[in-house]
Chain A
Amino acid sequence: MKTSQLAAAAAAALALALAGFSGAASAQATASVSADVSVTFTAKCQIASGSSATVAIDFGTYTAFGANVTAPTKTATYECSRGMGAAPTFTWDANPDGATVQGTVKGLRYQLTASTALATGGAGAAPDLVAKTNGTPDTYDIKIDGTLYGGAGDPTGSATASNTLVVTY
């Protein structure tokens, strides 16, 4: 009985030794775990950092009873989250319903009109993970045109008026 047990133990030892030999170059131990990543994101538009929040529409010098004057088009740039998709709409402080507003300055009637388009090359780029860049926004040009209508006006002098344009995306 003892003899047979010893023989079995020896055989087992041999088998384990052989197994150990074949697996001597063991692989590196690894373990994996999943990570669920989440964020609540709010898309947004804002005036681009390189664009002023105030646009000056200059009608120049106007002599009473002269022709209408068109001011040089001014542009403001907005930047938005990529792919927001919806076309922006405009409201003026004095005209909450549309892209055009009228007012008077020095007794002369003027009209401002806003229009927009995706800026040239304004489609933003997604982040580049290899280059570790954060991507860029879509950019839109807001063009504002102004017309001063001819008339008698008020006494000579300079005057300014202010209007606020609200852009909604």
Chain B
Amino acid sequence: MSQPDNYRLNRSGASRVGLSVALALLSLGASGQVITASKNLTLSAMLSAQCRVASASSGAITLTFPAYTAFGGAVTAPSQSINFECTRGLGSTPTFTWDAGGGTTAGEGILAGLRYSLTATNGTRTSGVAPVLGTPGDVGTPDTYPVNVGGSMPAGQAGEGASGTYTATRTLTVSF
């Protein structure tokens, strides 16, 4: 049974359509490699570097001088250490000032009429660690500055007032 002419024509047309589709896919394949685009972002932030008393060192330092009898020998309070933690890489060497007492911020003071001197000295800094990006939640660690605080009373002082225990509170400011 012979096909009608129009059917043959249709078959021929279908073949042409199929060919055109194949060409289109071929064309798409050539241009369908991974498409990328880049844009540089400039990120900036203002960091206000800070130092603070490390949590393990929180609270006041207690400097207790040995008992002092008038006109006696010099006494030295056992040294106390306190840690400050700072933004990494501040770099500078800490300096110290005490609250003003008797007109000086050099750590001088009077207790029970006895002159004493407080000192603060730097220990060895422990460098902090930068954040490790592969470790979720890691934010790095601060630089740690240990500061040793001590006190002394010169010998031979008369003192003032009745016998007893005397206390005073001083403030040490550390500048980094």
Interfacial residues, chain A to chain B (CB-CB below 8 A): 6, 9-10, 13, 16-17, 19-20, 22-23, 26, 28-44, 46, 79-85, 124, 126-130, 132-138
Is A38 touching B166 in the complex (CB atoms < 8 A)?
yes
Is A84 touching B162 in the complex (CB atoms < 8 A)?
yes
> Chain B: how many interface residues by the 8 Å CB criterion?
73
In the complex, chain A residues whose CB is within 8 Å of the CB of B46? 16, 19-20, 22-23
Is A41 touching B39 in the complex (CB atoms < 8 A)?
no
Q: Can you spell out 7 A-B residue pairs with CB atoms less than 8 angstroms apart?
A: A29-B51, A31-B176, A33-B60, A35-B61, A83-B161, A124-B158, A129-B103
In the complex, chain A residues whose CB is within 8 Å of the CB of B161? 41, 43, 81-84
Give the distance in Å from the alpha carbon of A39 to the alpha carbon of B161 in the complex. 13
Task: Identify 5 new A-B residue pairs, CB closer than 8 A, beyond the known A35-B149, A35-B172, A134-B115.
Answer: A29-B175, A33-B61, A35-B169, A38-B165, A39-B165
**Interface stretch of the complex, out of B12-20, B26-34, B66-74, B128-136:** B66-74
Is A26 touching B118 in the complex (CB atoms < 8 A)?
no
* Nearest Cβ on chain B to A3's Cβ, whole angstroms: 11
In the complex, chain B residues whose CB is within 8 Å of the CB of A38? 62-65, 111, 165-168
Contact with A along B131-170 (1 / 0, CB 8 A): 0000000000000000001010110111111111111111
Give the distance in Å from the alpha carbon of A92 to the alpha carbon of B103 in the complex. 47
Interface residues of B in 53-89 (CB under 8 A from A): 53, 57, 60-71, 75, 77, 80, 82, 84, 86-87
Q: Judge if B101 is at the interface, Cβ distance under 8 Å.
A: yes
Give the distance in Å from the alpha carbon of A137 to the alpha carbon of B101 in the complex. 21
In this complex, what residue of A is CB-closest to B113?
A82
In the complex, chain A residues whose CB is within 8 Å of the CB of B118? 35, 37
Q: Which of A39, A40, A80, A134 contacts B154 (CB 8 A)?
A: A134
In this complex, what residue of B is CB-closest to A6?
B39
Contact with A along B94-138 (1 / 0, CB 8 A): 000000011110001111111110100000000000000000000
Q: Which of A20, A39, A79 contacts B45 (CB 8 A)?
A: A20
In the complex, chain B residues whose CB is within 8 Å of the CB of A128? 102
In this complex, what residue of B is CB-closest to A22?
B46
With known contacts A37-B118, A81-B160, A31–B63 Cβ distance under 8 A: no
Give the distance in Å from the alpha carbon of A1 to the alpha carbon of B84 in the complex. 46
In the complex, chain A residues whose CB is within 8 Å of the CB of B174? 30-33
* Nearest Cβ on chain B to A30's Cβ, whole angstroms: 5
